[in-house]
Structure 1
Amino acid sequence: MGQVPAHALTAQLTEILTSVDTPTICNALEVVTGSRSAEGFTRGTFVSAHPRMRPVLGFARTATLRTAVPYTDPAAVLKERRLRWYEHICGAGIPTLSVVQDIDDEPGLGAFWGEVHSNVLKGLGVRGVLTNGAMRDFGMLAEDFQILAGSVSPSHGFAQIVDIAVPVKIHGLVIHDGDLLHADAHGAVVIEHEMLEALPRAIEVITARERPLIEASKRPGFSVDHLRAAMREAEDIH
């Protein structure tokens, strides 16, 4: 399996993939591979900045973070590292997601994500954030900028970027810099290059298979016999 090259993610594909939620993408990936999987997606619950927001799709720009450890580097070094991180996540026309692992023993002591960073990153063209760290400033966060965080904290603690463009692990999912991610309030899933072109058709199949069950369940007098017939109809859809 390989990473999706930026040129392969067309505007048409982006529209199709973000028109459905992340669980549908997970189901569609099973159609593409022909089997279920226990890998490739996050586990557990995130705090979502905008729970009803349309899914986001973008290439991971990874980093690690600390908020619980007092600063040891000079202020100039911390500032320069922060600026290098801003340069890295700025996609220059490529849709990016900031993926940051809080590597403290107790992730989320301080919130790196709030009113300021949500607006700064949105201004840089970043589509959203995925982190096991904390967020804050509800009601003041940038609109249409998704943040999926592991927790909430009122303070930023000793927030500092540590490493940039390194593999990270967010809620059980190992993410490499450059991975293509689909994410919404449910969590995130990695889309491999070999799966990308087949996903639109797989989404159609998943939607078509679910329709008979949902429609049957809403009819008056719905019974197990009706359900059995709907299941047969769904199974015939490929």
Structure 2
Amino acid sequence: MNTELLDLLRSVDTPTVCNAIEVAEGKRGFNRFTRGTMLASDPSAPAMVGYARTAKISALAPPTEPPEVIKARRMDYYRYMSEGPRPALTVVEDIDFPNAIGAFWGEINTAVHKGLGLSGTLTNGVMRDLGDLPDGFPVVAGSIGPSHGYVHVKEIDGPVKIFGLDIHPGELVHADRHGALVVPETVVPDLANAIRKLLDTEQLVLGPAREPGFNFEKFEAAWAAFEKART
């Protein structure tokens, strides 16, 4: 992904990217996005964009595997997160969902992931330490809670499901306070132009709507121009 496209994706929200993907595909029906309301650690932060580094965790009950296995897997997890193409996002499924109670994402762990070169986290699990999370490392999570429970890593580098969205390792993810989506590889070459076209087309309605004296007749003309531009 080139720097120009990366900067553009970071500057727009997920609804814009959802719409732009449909512009690039030439049809409605794009459906690789999260369902339901997610929570953002910093709602004002720019969108996070990156290739998925995936894992699964659990925290409701103590691990049943030997301690040395759990410790080794945790180190394998951090090694895995430190590797791979950049930009990258940590995409972690809490298999306890919808009853997740263990906050894997607090002040220490987010600082570690940021230090390892990750750009943010998408999870259906729990975050905590709001106000103490590092700048420039947004977390979009399923809930907020005070405890880490018995949190431990269960799997690394496999498919995960976050709020109804299946995500595979290496897929390009865009996420913000609205939720997340997976950008299809097929639209990447056309996505920048699609975003710009979408933003320009929207101004055909937004411009007149924000001007003094806007009325139905002006709306009707603006909408006709809008419809013509997007067909």
- TM-score, with structure 2 as normaliser: 0.95
* Counterpart check, 1:40 vs 2:59: no
Instruction: Specify which of 111, 125, 138 is matched with residue 117 of structure 2.
Output: 125
* Counterpart check, 1:54 vs 2:46: yes
Q: Which residue does the alignment assign to 1:179? A: 171
The answer (yes or no) to whether the contact 1:89–1:126 under 8 Å persists in 2 is: yes
In 1, the alpha carbon distance for the partners of 2:135 and 2:25 equals: 36
Instruction: Specify which of 88, 91, 100 is matched with residue 99 of structure 1.
Output: 91
Instruction: Specify which of 187, 196, 213 is matched with residue 205 of structure 2.
Output: 213
Instruction: Specify which of 193, 200, 203 is matched with residue 201 of structure 1.
Output: 193
The answer (yes or no) to whether the contact 2:49–2:174 under 8 Å persists in 1 is: yes
Inter-CA distance 91–231: structure 2 relative to 1 (3 Å threshold):
farther
Instruction: Give the letter for the 1:10 counterpart.
Output: N
The answer (yes or no) to whether the contact 2:40–2:138 under 8 Å persists in 1 is: yes
**Residue 104 of structure 1, CA deviation:** 1.7
Q: Which residue does the alignment assign to 1:156? A: 148
Runs of 4+ in 1 over 6 A off after TM superposition: none
Provide the secondary structure at the position in 2 that maps to 1:213: helix
**Correspondences of 1:72-83 after superposition (within 5 Å):** 72-83=64-75
In 2, the alpha carbon distance for the partners of 1:189 and 1:107 equals: 23
Number of residue pairs matched?
A: 230
RMSD: 1.4
Structure 2 unmatched runs, 5+: none
Instruction: Give the letter for the 2:194 counterpart.
Output: A
Structure 1 unmatched runs, 5+: 1-8
In 2, the alpha carbon distance for the partners of 1:209 and 1:91 equals: 40
Provide the secondary structure at the position in 1 that maps to 2:29: coil
Q: Which moved more, 1:34-43 or 1:148-157?
A: 34-43
Q: Which residue does the alignment assign to 1:3? A: none
Provide the secondary structure at the position in 1 that maps to 2:217: helix
Deviations 1:118-156 (A, max 9, x none): 100000000111111001001111111010110111000
Q: Which residue does the alignment assign to 2:134? A: 142
- TM-score, with structure 1 as normaliser: 0.92
Instruction: Give the letter for the 1:26 counterpart.
Output: C
Inter-CA distance 88–234: structure 2 relative to 1 (3 Å threshold):
same
Provide the secondary structure at the position in 1 that maps to 2:11: coil
Instruction: Give the letter for the 1:31 counterpart.
Output: V
Deviations 1:180-204 (A, max 9, x none): 0011111111112110010111111
Provide the secondary structure at the position in 2 that maps to 1:127: coil
